[in-house]
Amino acid sequence: MNNIFKKFPFTITLNGGFSGSWFASGAKSSGYSPVDGRVLPEVTVNTSDDLGRIVTQCHETFPVWRKVPAPARGQIVREYGEEIRKYKEPLAQIITMEMGKPMRESLGEVQEVIDICDFAVGLSRQIGGPSLPSERKSHRMFEQWHPLGTIGVISAFNFPMAVWAWNMAIGMICGNTVLWKPSSKTPICAIVLTRIMEEILRKNNLPTAICSLVTGSGAAIGNMISSDERISMVSYTGSTNIGRQLGKIVQERFGKLILELGGNNASIVTSNADIDIALRSIYFGALGTAGQRCTSTRRVIIHEKIYDQLLSKLTDTYRKVKIGDPFESKNFLGPLVDRSAVKAMQNALVQVRKEGGKILYGGEKLSEKGGCYITPAIVVVSGNLPVVKEETFAPILYVMKFRELDEAISIHNDVPQGLSSSIITNNICESERFISECGSDCGIANVNTTTNGAEIGGAFGGEKATGGGRESGSDSWKGYMRRQTCTINYSGTIELAQGIQLDF
């Protein structure tokens, strides 16, 4: 890792907290790379007292940042995106080293950071509201949007750079200061990205606490962020159970909230599908990031006419998948993030057997390759068994059969989560039904493509136990601002709405 750090033109100290300066008074913590088990550089993490100081700095910086015009804020984000372009390769290497994603996908993740910066720059000249007709003479009514304050971004390990970047780029152009609490599994990604932002802000004579960072225990630090009234909005990306607890704490104090929680995504493959497209979509959907994307394909619901054919091709393809070092381009499947993820996958497979599912392929731990490599599993089930309704963050693909499309849609929607979905068909009636109000109940519904791999231009997020939040493109920026409706009377007299008369 130290060799990767040398590719940046500044020193990187692994003190995990930043708010104008780098500091951390907690314990030293070192993780293991899932790639080869090597010990990663030690990071000194923050304590609760540190967090208090960081929130104060970030909060006190808000009045300065909100006065910078939005297009000028966009220029800072533009400069940041340009800097990230220069370091795409070493940044991707840090992702792969810290959490094990194959390099091709890590490069894609850094590209996502660049893309959202570009998007936010354009947006910085567009965050306005409509002008609306007033019912009163010589009155003008319009909506406008103001920054919220400090936003707390708590992110998951699986997109250790992109998720923060979505929140940072949109949050910053909206005039907020941003406090990031990354996953305890990926503090180094966070330190390096924050260090790059520090340089940009310093160069522009702006307070560097605009983008602050805190690392440390998810439970302790995360809880404090949720309950601190100085944090106007919490954007939480992570598992549904923690999101549920955190959501209550934030709502209790009327804080704003964006929840991006777990998924349980399915592809329906109809008898009118192009089998090759189905195969490729499921392959990347289920195996990309070793099944550790919130949008990973976890269930595939296949029409009975093509069931045997597709399942046999899928199993053949799984047999051939190259598993190993994610830095080597020949390998498609890297390791899971850590040993506990391997254990969770094995536990789910034990459970699925108990519930009557049949493991058709895979699910083995590849001990000779190190602790975190596994073979991806294909499991045949008769429907949404209890274990299928839970999100296991690993490459387990549950396969089911259907006869009528309505039946497939009903199986599809019969899980607590509602993030992403897809249908593979060349029949326009089937695809239209799937994306209609009677079809998929997810925040993302695709046709003839994967459930994962969303572009930054669309709003990203899901319904039900996925939390209902939206991030990234489209009008998601509205979640990062407060709306104000203004009425201006230039009539020279007073006229009340709804025709109410003033009798004096």
User: Nearest distance from residue 292's CB to ligand NAD, in Å?
Assistant: 7
Q: What are phi and psi for residue 256, nearest 5 degrees?
A: -85, 160
Output 261 or 396, the one with its CB closest to ligand NAD. 261
Q: What are phi and psi for residue 216, nearest 5 degrees?
A: 140, -170
Chosen residue from 70, 95, 116, 156 binding ligand NAD by CB under 6 A: 156
Binding mask 183-202 for ligand NAD (x = CB under 6 A): xx------------------
The C-alpha atoms of residue 185 and residue 45 are separated, in whole angstroms, by 12
The C-alpha atoms of residue 285 and residue 288 are separated, in whole angstroms, by 6
Catalytic residue among 105, 112, 260, 430: 260
Work out whether 391 is an interface residue with ligand NAD (CB under 6 A).
yes
Structure tokens at 504: 């004096």
Edge-to-edge order in the sheet of strand 420-424: 358-361, 377-380, 396-402, 297-303, 265-269, 420-424, 444-447
Site for ligand NAD in 217-246 (CB under 6 A): 218-219, 222-223, 226, 237-239, 242, 246
290: buried, middle or exposed (CB in 10 Å: 19+, 13-18, 0-12)?
Answer: buried
Stretch touching ligand NAD by CB under 6 A, among 69-77, 216-224, 282-290, 403-411? 216-224
Structure tokens at 143: 């909506």
User: Nearest distance from residue 250's CB to ligand NAD, in Å?
Assistant: 10
Q: What are phi and psi for residue 323, nearest 5 degrees?
A: -115, 135
Q: Is 429 a catalytic residue?
A: no
Q: Is 294 a catalytic residue?
A: yes
User: Nearest distance from residue 80's CB to ligand NAD, in Å?
Assistant: 22
Helix (H) or strand (E) holding 152: strand 150-154
Chosen residue from 116, 419, 423, 481 binding ligand NAD by CB under 6 A: 419
Binding mask 126-155 for ligand NAD (x = CB under 6 A): ----------------------------xx
Work out whether 443 is an interface residue with ligand NAD (CB under 6 A).
no
Output 198 or 260, the one with its CB closest to ligand NAD. 260
The C-alpha atoms of residue 84 and residue 95 are separated, in whole angstroms, by 14
Output 178 or 246, the one with its CB closest to ligand NAD. 246
Structure tokens at 303: 């029409």
The C-alpha atoms of residue 3 and residue 470 are separated, in whole angstroms, by 37
Chosen residue from 18, 22, 145, 159 binding ligand NAD by CB under 6 A: 159
Work out whether 176 is an interface residue with ligand NAD (CB under 6 A).
no
Total interface residues for ligand NAD by CB under 6 A: 30
Catalytic residue among 294, 391, 430, 442: 294
Work out whether 318 is an interface residue with ligand NAD (CB under 6 A).
no
Q: How far is CA 457 from CA 125, 178, 249, in A?
A: 16, 21, 31
| Contact present, 228 and 235 (Cβ < 8 Å) | no
User: Nearest distance from residue 293's CB to ligand NAD, in Å?
Assistant: 7
| Contact present, 450 and 296 (Cβ < 8 Å) | no
User: Nearest distance from residue 246's CB to ligand NAD, in Å?
Assistant: 5
Give every CB contact of residue 437 below 8 A, 6+ residues apart in sequence.
none
Chosen residue from 34, 81, 175, 262 binding ligand NAD by CB under 6 A: 262
CA dihedral 283, 286, 291, 297 (to 10 degrees): 150
Which residues lie across from 402 on neighbouring strands?
303
Binding mask 288-307 for ligand NAD (x = CB under 6 A): ------x-------------
Site for ligand NAD in 454-473 (CB under 6 A): 462, 466
The C-alpha atoms of residue 112 and residue 392 are separated, in whole angstroms, by 25
Which residues lie across from 57 on neighbouring strands?
none
Output 79 or 391, the one with its CB closest to ligand NAD. 391
Q: What amino acid positions are annotated as catalytic residues? A: 260, 294
- Chain contacts with ligand NAD (rule: CB under 6 A): 154-159, 181-184, 218-219, 222-223, 226, 237-239, 242, 246, 260-263, 294, 391, 393, 419, 462, 466
